[in-house]
């Protein structure tokens, strides 16, 4: 019963972040699964991909209805990350658990610092194809390796590299997250890893419901305020994970 309650609460919080910010919520899914629900790092990253995929699809539908998804741009961006996501997803299961935890903590800290920095929008007509491809490939690798959607990287990349407006970047990032997460899951499908679906299923359901509420919450609270609060939470989580491994 305790595990069920924790899964529901954690899923709701992560869904709120994903729906409100277009990414970032999945960064909390892995530590929640490890420290609150007893998953190993490898199990947590795989379960996180399931949660992120289904939650992102749900949030994507809402943004698509409002015309906030740049489909062609998102598909091209995601295409660059499919192969890296699959390769990284296959490799992650063979790495030491401590290394996965440290790598995850570092990425979470970098994501938090990136959220605290103002996004830079390039002048019209300055889209760099090479940079876009590199950003898409890097995002796919992070998704496959650490089991996170990578929205915290996708949104600023879509804004600063491809010149999308913030609202369109949030919606488009969900498309990118979905494709990368599916590719990473495909790479892990044959590993034979067992997941506790009694925990993963309610966690995912709560995250999906939370994503709808997060989208509504984003309209009531300034995006910058929500982003800064979440960034500070991420920094605290990253510090805790590093201390847990090092001490």
Per the prediction, the chain carries an average pLDDT of 78
Asked whether residue 80 carries a pLDDT value surpassing 60, the answer given is yes
Asked whether residue 64 carries a pLDDT value surpassing 70, the answer given is yes
Residues 134-143, buried b or exposed e (16+ Cβ, 10 A)?
Answer: ebbbbbbbbb
Vertex 47 angle, CA 168 and 140, to 5°: 45
pLDDT: is 202 or 103 the higher one? Answer: 202
Of residues 208, 145, 136, the one with CA closest to residue 179: 136
Of residues 13, 38, 31, the one with CA closest to residue 195: 38
pLDDT tens digits for range 3-21: 888 888 888 877 777 666 6
pLDDT confidence bin for 122, thresholds 50/70/90: low
């Amino acid at each position: 019963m305790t595990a069920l309650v924790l899964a529901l609460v954690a899923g709701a919080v992560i869904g709120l972040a994903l729906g409100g910010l277009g990414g970032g919520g999945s960064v909390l899914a892995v530590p929640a699964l490890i420290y609150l629900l007893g998953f190993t790092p490898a199990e947590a990253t795989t379960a996180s991909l399931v949660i992120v995929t289904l939650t992102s699809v749900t949030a994507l539908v809402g943004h698509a209805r409002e015309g906030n998804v740049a489909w062609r741009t998102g598909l091209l961006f995601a295409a660059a990350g499919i192969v890296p996501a699959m390769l990284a997803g296959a490799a992650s299961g063979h790495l030491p658990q401590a290394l996965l935890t440290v790598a995850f903590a570092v990425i979470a800290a970098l994501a938090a610092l990136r959220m605290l920095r103002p996004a830079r929008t390039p002048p019209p007509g300055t889209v760099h194809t090479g940079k876009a491809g590199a950003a898409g490939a890097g995002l796919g690798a992070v998704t496959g390796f650490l089991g996170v959607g990578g929205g915290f990287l996708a949104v600023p990349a879509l804004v600063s590299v491809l010149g999308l407006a913030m609202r369109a970047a949030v919606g488009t990032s969900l498309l990118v997250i979905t494709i990368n997460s599916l590719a990473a899951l495909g790479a892990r499908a044959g590993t034979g890893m067992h997941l506790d679906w009694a925990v993963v299923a309610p966690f995912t359901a709560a995250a999906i419901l939370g994503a709808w509420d997060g989208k509504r919450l984003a309209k009531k609270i300034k995006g910058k305020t929500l982003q800064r609060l979440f960034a500070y939470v991420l920094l605290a989580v990253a510090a805790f994970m590093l201390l847990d491994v090092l001490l």
